[in-house]
């Protein structure tokens, strides 16, 4: 009997677990909660982005590396409850990659969870006990804050607990929509550092595609090198508004589609990509700008049935579109996003 797709998927998950001894928490038996692993330096998403890297370094790497953390925390006790970083940007733009790279530089472990699980998982205890038993720094990475904005206050409570124990623990929360669309200014309090990751620029997209194709080359040398650099350049131009994850998906489709009857692959050309791009429009960037929250549009909640049918209502509750070039955080909260902590 042939295995079903589900069985194959489970097998895949299982072998992933087996290959990562440390990550018991990622195995299917207790999936969806906390997962602890060594921070990895990720691969292709980190070209450029110097400003973002600098802030990550300040908020994550340097505090986690600090040898005399006790003295440091004693001096700066007033800001202990503000030391989390909030990173926002379209889904698939490398937010996690950036945070993990910063943690990897400090030799930290990453305690990873979805904001939805923040209330029930007791991640704070886990972070504290992990850091004290392993003697290694810990970065807590909480993803999808827009799905569960209340997690912001849970993070605040945890900062208070951590402040008492002087452990080397850093906090990063991430969101795939604009923070002002789902957090009230007061809820930003724990986030001394606020970082907005823009969609990748042309040079970043090109670099990403080149690295991705180089990775494909290791599996299929002919396919991976079929596009000349000028074609990659054009492809990078065509994928304006696409995130890394979306570009990855487009290349995945091209790779799959080129499979032929003989079990090999036909060479790929620019027009194949153009066709796929037409069928795979970019979404993350628009989703980021439109904002999302499970709780903010109270008008929606009382009458959920009409949410999609009543465009007038939708328009009213949707967050204002940002003006070009102007940082939305600046106009809303009165500070430039990158120097919130000064």
Binding site for ligand NAG (CB under 6 A): 202, 230, 233-234, 237-238, 240-241
Q: Least distance from C-beta 233 to ligand NAG, angstroms? A: 4
Smallest distance from the beta carbon of 222 to ligand NAG, in angstroms?
A: 23
Least CB distance to ligand NAG at residue 221 (A)? 24
Could you report how far apart the first and last alpha carbons of the chain are, in Å?
A: 64
Which is closer to ligand NAG, CB of 71 or CB of 240?
A: 240
Residue among 134 and 237 whose Cβ is closer to ligand NAG: 237
Cβ nearer to ligand NAG, comparing 79 with 202: 202
Least spacing, CB of residue 131 vs ligand NAG, in Å: 43
Calpha distance 200→246 (Å, rounded): 11
- Please give the Cα distance from 30 to 12 (Å, whole number): 16
Give the nearest distance from C-beta 128 to ligand NAG in angstroms: 45
Q: Could you identify the residue written with the tokens 């009213």?
A: 316
Integer Cα distance of 95 and 199 in angstroms: 11
Select 240 or 274, whichever has its Cβ closest to ligand NAG.
240
CA distances from 313 to 178, 179, 181, 254 (A): 20, 21, 16, 40
**Residue 167 · residue 128 · CB < 8 Å:** yes
Burial, 316: exposed, middle or buried (Cβ in 10 Å; 0-12, 13-18, 19+)? exposed
DSSP string, 100-169: HHHHHHTT-EEEEEEGGGHHHH-HHHHHHHHHHHH-S-EEEEEE-GGG-TTHHHHHHHHHHHHHHHT--E
Cβ(148)–Cβ(182) below 8 Å: no
CB of 301 to ligand NAG, least distance (A): 30
**Residue 96 tokens, joined:** 């996690």
> 111 vs 227, which CB is nearer to ligand NAG?
227
Residue (165 or 240) nearer to ligand NAG, CB: 240
Residue with tokens 């037409």: 278
Kindly state the smallest distance separating residue 148's Cβ from ligand NAG, in Å. Answer: 29
Of 150 and 233, CB closest to ligand NAG: 233
Cβ proximity to ligand NAG, 57 vs 253, nearer residue: 253
DSSP 61: I
| Both structure tokens of 256 | 């799959």
At its nearest, how many Å lie between ligand NAG and the CB of residue 290? 12
């Amino acid at each position: 009997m042939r295995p079903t797709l589900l069985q194959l998927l489970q097998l895949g998950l299982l072998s992933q677990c087996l290959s990562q001894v440390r990550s018991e928490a990622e195995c299917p038996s207790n999936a969806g909660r906390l997962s602890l692993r060594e921070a990895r330096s990720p691969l292709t998403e980190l070209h450029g982005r110097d400003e973002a890297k600098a802030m990550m370094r300040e908020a994550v790497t340097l505090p986690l590396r600090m040898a005399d953390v006790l003295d440091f925390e004693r001096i700066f006790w007033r800001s202990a409850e503000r030391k989390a970083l909030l990173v926002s940007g379209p889904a698939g733009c490398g937010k996690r990659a950036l945070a993990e790279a910063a943690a990897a530089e400090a030799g930290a472990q990453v305690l990873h969870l979805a904001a939805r699980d923040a209330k029930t998982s007791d991640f704070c205890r886990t972070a504290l006990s992990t850091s004290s038993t392993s003697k290694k720094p810990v970065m807590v990475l909480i993803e999808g804050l827009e799905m569960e904005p209340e997690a912001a206050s849970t993070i605040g409570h945890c900062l208070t607990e951590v402040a008492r124990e002087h452990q080397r623990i850093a906090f990063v929360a991430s969101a795939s929509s604009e923070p002002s669309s789902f957090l009230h200014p007061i809820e930003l309090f724990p986030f001394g550092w606020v970082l907005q990751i823009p969609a990748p620029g042309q040079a970043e997209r090109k670099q990403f595609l080149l690295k991705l194709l180089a990775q494909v080359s290791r599996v299929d040398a002919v396919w991976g090198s079929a596009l000349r650099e000028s074609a990659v350049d054009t492809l990078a131009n065509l994928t304006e508004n696409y995130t890394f994850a979306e570009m990855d998906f487009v290349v995945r489709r091209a790779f799959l589609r080129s499979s032929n009857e003989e079990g090999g692959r036909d060479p790929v050309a620019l027009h194949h990509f153009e066709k796929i791009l037409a069928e795979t429009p970019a979404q993350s960037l628009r989703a980021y700008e439109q904002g999302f929250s499970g709780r903010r549009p109270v008008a929606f909640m009382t009458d959920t049935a009409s949410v999609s049918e009543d465009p007038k209502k939708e328009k009213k509750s949707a967050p204002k579109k940002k003006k070009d070039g102007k940082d939305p955080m600046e106009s809303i909260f009165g500070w430039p996003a990158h120097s919130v902590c000064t």
